[in-house]
A and B are shown apart, each in its own frame.
Chain A
Amino acid sequence: MIPGKFGYHRPQSVAEAVGLLASLGSEARALAGGHSLIPLMKLRMAQPEHLVDLRRVTALKGIRREGADLVIGAMTTQAELIASALLADLLPLLPETCRTIADPQIRNVSTIGGNVANGDPGNDLPAVMQCLGASFILDKTGGQRSVAARDFYLGPYTTALAEGELLTGVRIPIPPAGHGAAYEKLKRKVGDYATAAAAVVLTMTGGRCTTAAIALTNLGGTPLMVDQAAAAIVGTALDQASLDRAAAAASAVSDPAEDARGSVEYRRHVAGVMTRRAILRAAAHANQRSI
């Protein structure tokens, strides 16, 4: 399998890249790691007329702290996120999630920008970004805007990214010290997309949950924030009845397709199971970090 023909461009800077995307129009695609796009091109499910390869735009790489936020360049690979001491310290949820993505070879190439920008409901980082209250930095010629991860996903492979825009980075508010977080992903084998997955970020005070955010992966056309599940546990000591309500809320909001990963009923059920496990592990993580 070989991709269809395309014009190839390798800009050196963000300005040059967004200039190319603007002038080449709707048939141009940005190429990051390519591990979503190239397989689609080989299957001829995507046939862009132009690829704008970001590999030489070194400004798009790296993880840095800016005040109360972490800013991660779009071309930072998942392997780099896993290896980051800064993230291990401030935001361990991100490396934890990346370890559940694909396999070592793919994590060496695939990027945070590609994972969050292409709108594949199977991708793991979008739900995590929503949970964390992250925003995406979108550049175009003559301007930049920021879109909240919670507002970015409109449907499968459909996002708020406009023509001529490039997602250049992700801005994540550093969660409070002592927060707990977990990503629970049920998959058939190492490297698979989720049958169901739940991301949880919470804080605990005196044994009670004080804040919570919960989002689901691959259980609908977009990542799903489940505010009702979060509301079910805030103010509680995570007793059985509260966990049951949170799991039920996650199952209720899930709208998965039936596929090789399971029936609709099964996937809705395990959405609740993953939510329950993620809450408990996040709480244990919070308690461990606040000691």
Chain B
Amino acid sequence: MKTIRMKQVTSFLLVALVMLLVAGCSQPAKVHKVGILQVSPALTIAEGPITEGMVELGYVEGENVEYVYKNAMGNMDDLNSFAAELLDQVDVLVTIGTPSAAAANKANEGKDVPIVFYLTSDAVKLGLVQSYSQPGGRATGVMTGSEDTAGKRLEILLKMNPDIKNVLAVYSTNPIMLLEQEKLREAAATLGLTLVEHQISSAEEAIAAYQSVQPGEVDAIHVPADVVVAAAEEAIAVLSVRDQIPNIYVGKKDTSVAAYGPDFKTAGPQVAALVDKILNGADPATLPVEIPKKFNLIINMNVVEQIGLTLSEDVLQIADVVIGAE
């Protein structure tokens, strides 16, 4: 009798111990696959803050998250096939730039993979979402609508040199660029500026457009956040130096005098937060579209000196970041 009782007690204790151990051991973490789709190398700078934001939220690459990067290098056909390819293998697809978002959204028909777009134009006008507060589909994100800040960029040019009259505005045939161009025209009219416009449809045309500018024809250059125009960065730099005129971009470049656009450091984590919510089961249809918390005006004094510009104090006062300042 005694031994049997001891056996029962012992086995009971063992079972309890095993149950505790089983409860204590967490299940192996799932490795989430997150795709990052880029249309061109122009915005690779925006990737870092997203993954850093993911780290802040507890995602360690190789441990519980895996990133699949695809960059179409400006080739629209590649962009479409990359979008379809990524959608087939990831849990969430992050698209950077308007063309990426549009391509992914189109390729997602029937696939229903959550998409988080970033650095896009107006998501409602693009048809990515039904409304900002209730996207209603498979896509949500952080939109930066460069068209909204176009006027602001003209204003900044004016602040750099109040004597500016003619602003060079090369734009592509991309529908979103047409929208931005329209905004630019409105702002120019308000500010009393004249736009010197050139519509192009290829990188070669873009370069040619900048090269064809006569000395003294324009007083400043507005560069849109367009993948085709971006290819003419060198031509723009040459023109700025030749005519000693300021240029302004959306995102900072090595040759940009000024850049006014979203602050990647704060907007990246916003994208990461949306990805995190989706990975935790949230439905993108109910995750409102956000706009970046912060926009930055970055002035590059090195470029300013290289060109030989004299900037007004006003613009330096309103700049968020001044590079190369003494």
Do these two chains really belong together in a complex? Answer: no
